Copies of this chain bind each other. A is one copy, B any other.
């Protein structure tokens, strides 16, 4: 409950790692070994980060990944959105189909949860990966 997924953690670690080596090209093998992350899982994460244009992939031998922009331009929220594939929402109201929520009509906590949601977005948006030192 209210936990970040391992994928998001791995993504943050990977981006932070690339930034820490001055954006030199880094491979899945290298990162997964250094931080004890299952390489297949990390590979998928990197592919999502690539599709989300947070990092750039370099295929083929001697390939790997570099950042697509400065680490100070990548927020934790960016990483969450790209990896999860949807907007973060603390309740159904704020993500997928709100109407499908079983208590939608009689729900009395939509508004206050909306305030919380807003505050959480502030927190995740303001935290940049560059602060992850």
Q: Residues of A with Cβ closer than 8 Å to B?
A: 1-5, 8-9, 12-13, 16-17, 34-37, 76, 80, 84, 88-92, 95, 102-103, 105-109, 111-113, 115-116, 119-120, 123-124, 127, 131-133
Contact = CB atoms under 8 A, between A and B. Distances in A.
A48 to B, nearest CB: 13
Contacts of A115: 127, 131
Contact of A90 (B3, B34, B109): B3
Given A13-B109, A109-B13, A112-B132, A89 B3 contact: yes
21 contacts: A1-B3, A1-B4, A1-B8, A1-B80, A2-B2, A2-B80, A3-B89, A3-B90, A4-B91, A9-B103, A9-B109, A12-B109, A12-B112, A13-B103, A13-B107, A16-B108, A35-B103, A37-B103, A116-B123, A119-B123, A120-B120
A45 to B, nearest CB: 13
A16 B133 CA distance: 42
Nearest to A123: B119
A76 B109 CA distance: 11
B90 A2 contact: yes
Contacts of A17: 108
